[in-house]
Amino acid sequence: MGEFKVHRVRFFDYMPSAIRAMAFNSRTERLALSRADGALEVFNFADSYFQEKVIPGQDGRAVEALCWVRGRLFSAGLNGEITEYDLENLRPKYTMEAYGGPVWTICSNSQGTHLAIGCEDGTVKIFEVLEETIRFQRNLDRQKGRIISLSWHPSGALIAAGMMDMIKVFNAESGHATHRLLVERGVGASKSREVVVWSVAFLSDHTIISGDSAGKVQVWDGVTGTLVRTHLVTKWDVLALSDESSLLAGTSEGTVVQFQFISSTVDQHDKEWVRTRTFKNHTHDVRALAHTDTAVVSGGMDTQLVVRPLLEKVEKNTQESALRKIAFPHRSLVSCGKKAGMLLFQFHGHLELWRLGESDGHGEEKHTCTLSETHGGCQRWQGDDHICCSALSPCGGWLAYSTISSVRLYRLQYNGSNISITKVAKLPKVLRSAHQLCFSSDSSKLFASTTHSSVIIIALSQSECKYLHTLRPKSGTRQPVHLMSASEDGKWLATANSDCEIHVYSLHKLKLHCTVPVYSSCPTAMAIHPTTSNLVMVHADQQIFEYSLVQKEYTEWSRKLQKQGLHHLWLARDTPITHLTFNPRNPAHIIMHDTYMFCIIDQNLPLPDQKTLFYNQMTLRSLPEPERTSHMKLQTMAYHMEHLLCVSLLEDHSLVVVERPLLDIASQLPAPVRQKKFAT
């Protein structure tokens, strides 16, 4: 399969933010989550849990709660504002002041006509959901303490509000409180501390379920206002509840406790809420929970999104029954200057530029980079908006990044080990913001994807930056571009959006060349072959296609691959391919990677059949020579690595492998709550 000199890079200190809130839209099967830095992410659970969209955060915007209303996404935060998001342009659509201090919670009625928010000043505010905005309607009776949690009864007539030491039930029409449910405090020393009702759930049979800071899950009769049952599930806080066919409670210990409405004994006909399972998939607080038809979704301080299938809802020993942990973004945060041996690392508030060095003979690589206008190779963005995308030109002479409000372009000049950086002062006015940025292979053009999947082309020169043209698809799509790839010969530009559309433009004629037949799964990586001009695409469901841009049809290799089918072990992988490239020394080699492995596909060799066994490199070397040779003649060769963020091929045919071990991330997390362990 060929040998490469490998630069193993572990100095990208990527640190994801904690998950603060979740909301699942069962109609579209989209999960929205917010992080501590204010960023929002949307996952398509119907398409292999692919991270479909990312809305960058903003300084001062702390999202405390999320809510879907008929495909529209709303958030509320401790800055006292309600925000609706534009999911087509990946930015806040508008922000409205709640005028009640910090907002702790937001929820909608089942009809999707009204929103309720809980405020620091003790008010529950009702907003009417209009076609393009929301409008304040009224306040419910003001209380003495802050409103921490809310849940709307499915009928829309009643609202339960969790507070300090109590739960209030309001009539949504009159605004008056109908019941006051007093929550017991803890025992011993904790009896003097107020109990925070972190979460409430109002069920259709008028049962109210609460989770509080004393570690209790309590079941209440919402008609009489009396306590039915108390479950002590932890010594710490119960931070989140989610109800559907069963009830879930997330705790500060990192556990998720499941309750089911069943008979507690075999001969008993009366049903009650019984604790049935405890899941331990987190190391820190579980701050957010969601319930799908078949799985429990949880997230918290340890930054990982965990999808835990409920085995009674799925077929056992299938891909659907496997536990999933999503720890890294499904898009690359690393840009590589292939000709200059430079790496650009994207953080939410700054960029880091590194130069690859030579090994000192002990396996350690020297990497030096000094920017004259920055400190330690770091360019910081001065502003509230976080960076949404960035790119480094192949020659290493240009650097560009974008926020939701502006695009910045810099000229880099090298003087030995020093680098000077100069901001390009005047950019074309049409270039306001971008979802994706990409340079041409000769670094003479900058491509910026903007609204409605259009692409702006900017010509770069030493003296000026000039607007050339805007490329637009004919499909009329309004979805944003999440992938962009330019060919090495400068003839083609391919874009992919979250409508699963892939458009290919001719850069010589500056118009749409063709549209690849739409496949049902979203593309996660694509690249144009430098010699054959074939577009290779990998999708979220792990399928691989090759499309001839000259013939405007799928290639013979692609048709053969789809006819025979990919190996079941390849399809069983739960992380998407995020980058692919080609080996110039062998045009038949396709190099691609996901989070846990990178592989080389040789198109000249036969495809492995379903009975073929795959071995790692250590096992392969231990096999007898004839057996090892037969395995080497198969088309796919995989190499297992440790949490890959990027694998790229430089101009000198060496590989750059950027890794971020999960243990390094875990070591930077705050200490979890102290737990008693056996024999300690």
β-pair partners for 202: 208
pTM score over 0.85: yes
662, containing H or E segment: helix 662-667
pLDDT of 374 strictly over 80: no
Nearest to 209 by CA among 253, 173, 240: 240
pLDDT tens per residue, range 417-456:
788 889 998 899 999 999 999 999 999 999 999 999 999 9
β-pair partners for 215: none
611 or 89, greater pLDDT: 89
The sheet with strand 149-152 has its strands ordered as 149-152, 158-162, 166-171, 177-182
pLDDT of 360 strictly over 60: no
Can you read off the two tokens belonging to residue 533?
């001009």
- Distance (Å, rounded) from C-alpha 487 to C-alpha 175? 62
Report yes or no: 297 and 305 within 8 Å, Cβ to Cβ.
yes
268, containing H or E segment: none
- Distance (Å, rounded) from C-alpha 591 to C-alpha 321? 30
Taken in order 558, 560, 562, 567, the sign of the CA dihedral is negative
Q: Which domains does the chain have, with CATH numbers?
A: 19-243 (2.130.10.10), 244-326 (no CATH)
β-pair partners for 50: 44
3-state secondary structure of 583: strand
Lowest mean pLDDT among 363-372, 525-534, 662-671: 363-372
- Distance (Å, rounded) from C-alpha 577 to C-alpha 596? 10
Report yes or no: 243 and 208 within 8 Å, Cβ to Cβ.
no
Q: What is the pLDDT of residue 64?
A: 94
Q: What is the pLDDT of residue 372?
A: 31
- Distance (Å, rounded) from C-alpha 263 to C-alpha 276? 11
Give whole-number Cα distances, 249 to 12, 23, 244, 260, 274, in Å. 35, 15, 12, 12, 12
Q: What is the pLDDT of residue 41?
A: 97
- Residue 528 burial by CB count (10 A; 0-12/13-18/19+): exposed, middle or buried? buried
Radius of gyration of the chain from its Cα atoms, rounded to whole angstroms: 27
Mean model confidence pLDDT for the chain: 88
349-375: average pLDDT:
59
30-52: average pLDDT:
96
Q: What is the pLDDT of residue 208?
A: 94
β-pair partners for 600: 591, 637
Lowest mean pLDDT among 418-422, 469-473, 539-543: 418-422
625 or 557, greater pLDDT: 557
CB atoms within 10 A of CB 664: 16
676 or 497, greater pLDDT: 497
384 or 300, greater pLDDT: 300
Q: What is the pLDDT of residue 376?
A: 38
CB atoms within 10 A of CB 663: 9
Lowest mean pLDDT among 172-186, 377-391, 560-574: 377-391
Number of alpha carbons in the 13 Å side-chain half-sphere of residue 630? 8
Nearest to 356 by CA among 365, 348, 345, 364: 365
